[in-house]
Structure 1
C-alpha cells in the first residue's frame, strides 16, 4: 500500500492508481469468495434486507403521500365548487339588489316630483284662498255698508212716507 493519498484512493485506503494495490484488492475479494466468508455475506444480507425495508417504507410513504394528495384534491375541488356556487348566488343577489335600488331610486324621484307638484299646488291654493278671503272680507264690509245704507234708506223712506202721509192729511 502506498503512503500517498490521492483522488484515486478508495474508502479502504488503497490507492487505485497503484497496480499493486489493485492486485491486492482483487486478491482479498477472491479469497473471501473462496473461503465463503460468512461475515461478508451476512452483511450483504443485512444490507439487502435493509434496502428492501427502505424500499417498502418509501413505497408506503409514496402511497400515503398519493392518498393525502388525492384527499386534499377532493377537498379543494369541493371547496372550490362551494365557493363558485356562493359567488354565483352572491352575484345574483347583487344584481337583484341593484335592480331593487334602481327601482326604489326611480320611485323616490317620482315621489319627489309629485311632492314638488303638490307643494306648488298647495301654494297656489293658499294664495287663491288668501285672495278669496280678502275678497270675502271686502264683500262682507260692502254688504254691511249696503245693509246699513239700506236700513238708512228704509228709515228715510218710512220717514218720508210718514211725512207725506201727515202732509196729506
Structure 2
C-alpha cells in the first residue's frame, strides 16, 4: 500500500503542461499519418497546380512579348508606309506644279496666238473697210467733180465713160501730188 500512496503522491506531483507518454505517442502517430498523406497526395497536387500556374504565367509572358514584337513590327511598317506616302504626296504636288506651269504656258501661248489671229483678221477687215471707203469716196468725189465741172463749164457732161476717165485721171494726179509731198517730208 505504501506503493500505492507513493504512486498516488507522484500522480499528484506531475506537471499538467507536460502530456502523458501515450498522448505524445498517439499524437506523433497521427502527425506522421497526416504528414505522409500530405506528402503523398496533397503536395504533388499543389506542386502540379503551382507548375501549371507558372507555365501559364510564362506562356502569357511569352504571348505578351510576341504581341509586343508584332506591335513594334506593325509600328515600323506603319512608319515606313507613312514616310512612303509623304514622299508620294510630295511627288504628286511637284507633278501638279509642273502640270500647272505647263498648262499656264499653253494657255498663254494659245491666247497670244488667238490675239494674233484676231489682230490679223481685224487688219484684213480694216483694209477691206478702207478699200470700200476709198472706192465709195472716189465715186462721190467723181460725181461731185463732174457736177462742179458741169457748173464751171456751163454745160452738162453726160458721157459717163469720158466723165469717169476724167475723174480717174484727176484723182490719179491728185494721189501722185500727195505722194510727192509725202516723199519730200
What is the TM-score of this pair, normalised by structure 2?
A: 0.56
TM-aligned CA deviation for residue 152 of structure 1: 1.0
Which structure's residues are more often helix, by fraction? 2
Distance 1:75 1:105 in 2: 44
Q: How does 1:108-147 map to 2 (within 5 A)?
A: 108-147=75-114
TM-aligned CA deviation for residue 103 of structure 1: 2.2
Using CA pairs below 8 Å that are at least 6 residues apart, which structure has the higher relative contact order? 2
Q: Deviations over 1:10-62 (max 9, x none)?
A: xxxxxxxxxxxxxxxxxxxxxxxxxxxx21256458879x9xx9232111211
What is the TM-score of this pair, normalised by structure 1?
A: 0.60
Distance 1:168 1:54 in 2: 162
Q: How does 1:1-169 map to 2 (within 5 A)?
A: 38-40=1-3, 43=6, 54-70=20-36, 73=39, 74-163=41-130
Distance 1:133 1:142 in 2: 14
What is the root-mean-square deviation in Å for CA atoms of aligned residues? Answer: 3.2
What stretches of structure 1 of length at least 5 have no aligned partner?
1-37
Distance 2:71 2:115 in 1: 63
> Looking at CA atoms only, which structure, 1 or 2, has the larger radius of gyration?
2
What stretches of structure 2 of length at least 5 have no aligned partner?
137-185
Q: Which moved more, 1:154-163 or 1:90-99?
A: 154-163
